[in-house]
Each structure stands twice: as C-alpha cells, then as structure tokens.
A and B are shown apart, each in its own frame.
Chain A
Amino acid sequence: MINFTEIKKQLLICIFVIFVFAILPFFLTQRYLLGEVIVFFFWAMVAMNWNLLMGHAGVFSLAQMLFFAIGAYGVAMAITFLGVSIWVAIPLAVLTSAIVALIIGLACLRLTGAYVALLTYAIAETVHVLIITDTECFTLIRNNCQQLFGGYAGFSRFDDFGFRPLLKRNWILGNYYAVLFAFALTIIIIIMIIHGRLGLAFRAIRDNVGYASSRGIDRKKYQVAAFACSAFLTGLAGAMYAGHFRFAGPSLFDFSTLMFVLSMVVVGGIGSTWGPLIGAGVMMTVVELSKGMGDARNLLLGIALVIFVVVLPKGLAGLAGSILRRFRKRVEAKT
C-alpha cells in the first residue's frame, strides 16, 4: 500500500525547500555566501543519495565519492579531450557514472553487509591510487603534459557553464540556478523513490531480507537498482561540481572528504528523509566556524561521527521525531 498523503506531504515540503532556495539570492547578495550555498547543494545532493542507498536500501557502500568523481572527471575529460560543450558533457558523465555503478553493483552486490562496504571502499581507493600514480602523458595541452586521467594535479581551467560572458558580473547567479535545478531534480526524484513503491521494497529488504524475498522482492535486483540510481544522481552532483569549480582532481577521493559527507548523513540521521539535508547544513556550518580556530576540521568530523553513532544513532532527524512524539503525547494527555 502506498500512502498517498505522505508522498504528497513530502513533495510539498520539497517544493517549499526549493522555493526558499530559489528566492534566497534576492536576500543574500554576498558572492562568498552564495558560493557557500552552492557548495551546500553539492554536498546535500551526495548526502541524500548516500542516505537513499545506505539508510533505505541497506547497501553500505563506501564508493559514493567515486561516483561523484566520475561525474566530475567525466565532464572535465569530455571538455578537455573531446572539446564538446558542457551541456553535452554533463549527460555523458552522468550516464557513465550510472553504467560504472551498474557494473560495480552487479559484481559487489552478490555479497552483503560489511563485505560490500569493504569491496566498494577498495575499488574507490584503487581508482584513486591509479589516478595519482599515472605519469604517462596522454596529450600536450598548452605545452603541458596532460595525463589521461589528470594525474596528481587533476583537470582545471576548462570551460564552465558559460555564464561569465552572458551575465557579466552576476555570473554566479547563473551557476546558482543551474546547480539549484540539479539539486531540485535530485531531491524530487529521491522523495518519489523513498516514499513510493521502490522505497517500500528497499526498506523491506533492509529490514528483513528473508521475508522480503519470500514476498517476491529480489534482493540483488533491487539493491543494484538502488546502487545505480544513487550513482546516477551522485554523478549529476559531481558533473555540476566540475562545471562550477572548473576543477576535477584526486582530492575528491580523499578519505576526509568521504568522512565529511558520511558525517552529514550520520549527523542528520541515517534512514530519514530530510536528515542528510539538515546534516549537510549543520556540518558545513560547524566546519566553517572551526576555520577560525585553526585546522580542526578532521578532528571535528571524527568526534561528530563517534558521538552521534554512539549517543544518537538516528541523528538529528531521529531526535526531532522523538521530541515531536513526546510533545504530542503530552498534548494528548492534557486534553
């Protein structure tokens, strides 16, 4: 049974969130803050996708940043080597990301639980190592050696969305709305999946594989679908990232980047709907504030991960939910 009112309610929240972000640039005119909101879109997209995969489908994949990187590298390589426009490069990169995910998913999702986590982590790390140890020149660009996958330096200074000549000084607004469009698309699709039939199947598998499969839900098929879906949207986030920053490099694979996104999911609440969005905002604010106290980013990430997992495994969304329930009970008791 699908709860139609639930999905409608969530979509309304979704439209409200998008609306708020759409009118935000009228109040927020500082370019730096707008840039920060764009970065927030990227991380929120990755975190929500990861939550879809980890919290709802029960696939503990650690390759989330790999698909982000495929999106970013795909755009960078298509522009640098094929010379195509970014609007062609983005769909290409996103499709590549989904296809790679399909292959990795088919190989890894024969296994379950911790095995999946370790294999996906090993695959992502292998790609990382292969990229940074690559020293062979593929072509020469502006008389500089350009490796096929960018090597240690990665790709930079390729064409972006092209809003600079169009909007002149307000080019960041163009980027803002382009990324917001991708963000809106991502959250609408994720809400439709989570609160639709697919999400029900995902959670059935996560909660009890045996019962779900006896009801005709094939674990492998649905988990591979979740894996590819999440990689598709994560690839989109990565492609937009490359378009905004004009950069794709091995730093995307850093363990601390992975932990940063993981902390957003954990702090927000694994298995919730809106938790990762809240988590992304909270963690970005915390890291931003900590910049004043020297380089404490990784320390804070680690402490946040440990404390939340031990004390609040359901995250801020779970905490808000239980407070709300308690409040409701008290109101009911009074009346």
Chain B
Amino acid sequence: MDVLIQIIITGITLGSMYALASVGLSLIFGTLGMFNMAHGLFMTLGAYAAYSAAISLKIPLLLGIFIAMGAGALVAIVTHLAVVRFMLGNSEFGMNVLVATAGIGIILEDLLLKIYGGYPYPQVLKVEGLVKIANVAITYQAIIICLVALLLISSIAFLLMKTRLGRGIRATAQNRDAAMLMGVKSDTVFLQVMALAGMLAGVAGLMISTQATLSPQMGGDPLLKAFVICVVAGLGNVWGAGLCAFGLAIFEATIGFYIGVRFGFPAMLLLVIAVLIWRPQGLFGQEKVVRL
C-alpha cells in the first residue's frame, strides 16, 4: 500500500513537470507546425533567471515563478522575432525550423555555460519540509509543484477555451488560411503562442531545478520526455499531451521503483514505440486523409 502511494505521488509530481513542458511544446507544434528543439533551453533559462533573482534580491518562490515565466516568455518571443518569423511559409519549414531551433538551443546552452560555468548549483528557491501520509513522506515542494502545474494548466485551458485570444489560437491551429480570412492576425497569434509556451517552459524549468540541480544541460532530459509525450499523444494535441504526461510519468515511476531508475525512460520509450506501431497518429491524434 505504502509503495503504491509512493509511486503515485512520485508519478504525479513528475507528471506535473512533464505536463508543463509538453503542453507548451504541443501548443507550438499545433499552431506553428514547428518542433521547438530550443524548448529545453527555455526551461533552463527560466530556472537560471529565477535563481539569479533569488540570489541577488532574496525573493520568495511565488515571485520566482513569475520571473521564470517572464524569462521563458522573453526568450521565446525573441526566438520568434529574430529567427522563426523569417522562415514561416518556406517549403521545407518543418525540417529547417528544427535545425534552426537546435542551433538556438546550442547557442543558449553555450552562453549559460560561459556565464554560470558548468558546475551544477542547487536551486535556492525551494520550500523545505515534508508531511507524512500513512508512512509516506511527501515534500512540500512536491505539493507546490502539483498545485502550480494544476493552476497553470487550468488557466491555459481557460484561456484557450473561453477567451477571444484562445479562439484565435484554436482557429489558427485548425486552419491557418481560413483563420486569416476570418480576420485573425496569424503573426500576433504566433507571438502569443510562443510567449505562452515560453512561460510554461520557464516555470517547468524552475520546478525541475528544485527537484534536481541547475546546470546548462538540465533541459535536455525533460525536453526528450516532453518530445516523447507529445509524439505519443499525437503532435499538436494539447489535451492529449497533458494526459499522457501524467500517464507516462506514473509508468516511469513504477518501472523506476521496481526495475531501476535508469530503465525508467527506456521502458517509457519502448511503450511509446509500441503504441505508435499500433496507432501511428498517436493516441489522441486524428488520422489525416491526404488528397492529392
């Protein structure tokens, strides 16, 4: 019983972080049709920004979240304005943008390495202490992570479903040309989506850094998991990405507990490949009928 609770709690904590990362990634893919290889660095940057602010200004965690959000959004907007904007509408957009964002990723990683050095720091924005439920220790930090993820993802859901801005985003994702004909400014929508995804990535980075340490490479591992989650959910399917994040995180926690932590991700990947052989369009993706 205790083991089960422990696995579920670890799974939900992991899932919250994965969901924050993969919902943003999925949102970008759904609207812009681009795979953002720099997403991991958006996370890392959010974590470092919050760390620096906490060191110099001694701010509490709540404020740190906003700083991480701001940093993530800022770098996402700059990425869009400086690079992605010029590539939209290219014939080889999908592949070229993957290469370009990978390039941005490696530039940002190198800059972080030069500024902060490669030595991993512990994240200072962290709540200590734990609470015990039926012999299972739950850290306050884990509870905060779950709450933050829940709050942010439901605000994103509200934004997408109930507001004018969200309607524009959904319309662009469904059919860019039709949305433009109806008067949706696609350039603005792209910028908004990048900012939203950057915000989510920044917070995800901050949360991940509280569970591990800060290093320029810290974004690589969560990015990989976010990729896999988005693929299994069906690329661009935001709700599916959120759900799969939790499902796969609980699966990973189970494997990690029973077989060994280092096999958590490989097992997850095998499961995903098996799912994709069965349903190539992803669990929640719709099969596309292509007419010539």
A residues neighboring B (CB under 8 Å): 54, 60, 107-108, 110-111, 113-115, 117-119, 121-123, 125-126, 129-130, 133-134, 210-211, 214, 255-256, 259, 262-263, 266, 270, 298-299, 301-306, 309-310, 313
Contact = CB atoms under 8 A, between A and B. Distances in A.
A152 to B, nearest CB: 13
Given A302-B104, A305-B103, A114 B109 contact: no
A301 B266 contact: no
Given A114-B35, A133-B262, A107 B273 contact: yes
A256 B113 CA distance: 13
A115 B111 CA distance: 29
Contact of B99 (A119, A255, A266): A266
Contacts of A130: 262, 266
Contacts of B105: 302
Interface of B: 29, 35, 83, 86-87, 90, 92, 94-100, 102-107, 109-111, 220, 224, 227-228, 230-231, 235, 262, 265-266, 269, 272-273, 276-277, 280, 290, 292
The 6 closest A-B pairs by CB, nearest first: A305-B103, A302-B107, A298-B110, A302-B106, A306-B103, A133-B262
B157 to A, nearest CB: 25
Main secondary structure of the interface of B (DSSP, over half): helix
B35 A118 contact: yes
A306 B104 contact: yes
A299 B111 contact: yes
Contacts of B94: 113-114
Contact of B269 (A122, A210, A266, A309): A122
B220 A255 contact: yes
Contacts of A122: 224, 227-228, 269, 272
B227 A118 contact: yes
Contacts of A110: 276-277, 280
A201 to B, nearest CB: 18
A305 B107 CA distance: 10
B110 A313 contact: no
17 contacts: A107-B273, A114-B29, A114-B94, A117-B95, A121-B227, A122-B269, A125-B224, A126-B265, A126-B266, A126-B269, A259-B102, A259-B106, A298-B106, A299-B110, A302-B110, A303-B107, A306-B104
B197 to A, nearest CB: 16
Given A111-B276, A305-B99, A118 B228 contact: yes
Contacts of B96: 309, 313
